[in-house]
Amino acid sequence: MSEGSVKTGTETNRKREISIKNRLEIALGLALVVLILELLGGFEFNSSALVADALHAFTDIFAIAFSLVALMLSARPPTKTLTYGYHRVEVLASLVNGVSLFAVAALIGFDAYLKFAAHTPINVFGTVIVALAALALNIVSRRVLSGSHSVAHNVDAPYLVDEDLNLKSATTHVYGDALASLAVVVGAVLVYFTGDYIFDPIVAAFIGLIVLRSAVATTWAGLSIMLERSPVRNMVALETELEKVDGVSDVHDLHVWKICSHVTIATLHACLNDEGRSRRTETMSEIEGRLSNTYGIQHATIQLEDVCCVPKHGHL
């Protein structure tokens, strides 16, 4: 890879990180406004659904703040001991976000239970106004964050393409909060037409389920990387693809994993036939090209073998 290509790639990543940082900062400001608005409205109008949505907004703030810190740390250059830099901080932030959501979901569920038992009346008009304002702010925040997705998920791709985990975590929170705000409006309208205040804690419990779903998704995304789960959908197909390279007779000890959401690593052994032994450089370049262009693998360590070190084996 030429020095010019490295500089261009570094500059592109730097601009991408600045764009994501700016959008996360805007989303953080909007989440603060939503939190204050819904918390005051929830206590003023006695709505457990608004309080639940405010707690969800608090998790937005928590998630976005962690994402900003992780983004700044992961942008730091590698060191002699941290050879891949601080990219794993992104994953740790995602895990903290996910675990915090489990606690918030439990708190929302407990509050909904208390209000359900007390059958407390609410101010319907005030609740609807506050929820609509929160919904509008969440829609704006969602659009701001969605504009910074660097890649889209393609179900036809042979590997799993994920957006930045910091961004994904924050977007998940905001998307869930928008749905929760809409649910508050629906619940208040049902209270108005039926006269039954039970719909308010029901909506609060529904918001708790949204938070729980976000907790599972966010935590699993981080755990998948920490457990070094392969982003390649079919490892056997990848081995077969690499064995089609001219000069390669066998591929084994193939491993693919992620350092973070946008850095993918691979290691493998490739046995060479007579043709491969006579054109080692070309064979190596073709293997690297297939890994990069077809499977999105940025860093590959390839051991070329004149004689296979082990019998051929696959991934079961």
**pLDDT-based confidence at 14, cuts 50/70/90?**
low
Q: Give the tokens for residue 233.
A: 């959908």
Q: Find out whether 64 and 170 touch, Cβ atoms under 8 Å.
A: yes
Q: Find out whether 86 and 76 touch, Cβ atoms under 8 Å.
A: yes
**pLDDT-based confidence at 56, cuts 50/70/90?**
confident
Q: Give the tokens for residue 253.
A: 């000890």
Write the burial class of residue 115 (CB in 10 Å: 0-12 exposed, 13-18 middle, 19+ buried).
buried
What residues have CB less than 8 Å from 43, skipping those under 6 apart? 51
Residue 237 DSSP SS3: helix
Q: Which of 103, 75, 107 shows the shortest CA–CA distance to 89?
A: 75
Q: What would the pLDDT profile of 57-102 be if each residue is shown by its tens digit?
A: 887 787 778 777 777 777 788 888 888 888 888 788 778 888 888 9
Is pLDDT above 70 for 4? no
Predicted confidence at residue 128, as pLDDT, reads 93
Q: Find out whether 258 and 290 touch, Cβ atoms under 8 Å.
A: no
Q: What would the pLDDT profile of 168-226 be if each residue is shown by its tens digit?
A: 667 777 777 788 888 899 999 999 899 888 898 898 888 888 888 888 888 888 888 88
Q: Give the tokens for residue 22.
A: 């700016």
Predicted confidence at residue 306, as pLDDT, reads 86
Report the alpha-carbon distance of residue 140 to residue 174 in Å, rounded. 10
- Please report which residue ranges of the chain form alpha helices under DSSP H: 3-44, 48-74, 88-118, 124-146, 165-194, 199-226, 235-243, 274-278, 280-295
Domains of the chain: 3-226 (1.20.1510.10), 235-305 (3.30.70.1350)
Report the alpha-carbon distance of residue 12 to residue 229 in Å, rounded. 27
Cα angle value 38/21/145 (rounded, 5°): 55
Residue 303 DSSP SS3: strand
> For the sheet containing 299-305, what is the strand order?
248-260, 263-272, 299-305
What percent of the chain has a predicted confidence (pLDDT) above 70? 84
Q: Which amino acid is at 16?
A: R
Is pLDDT above 90 for 40? yes
**pLDDT-based confidence at 103, cuts 50/70/90?**
confident
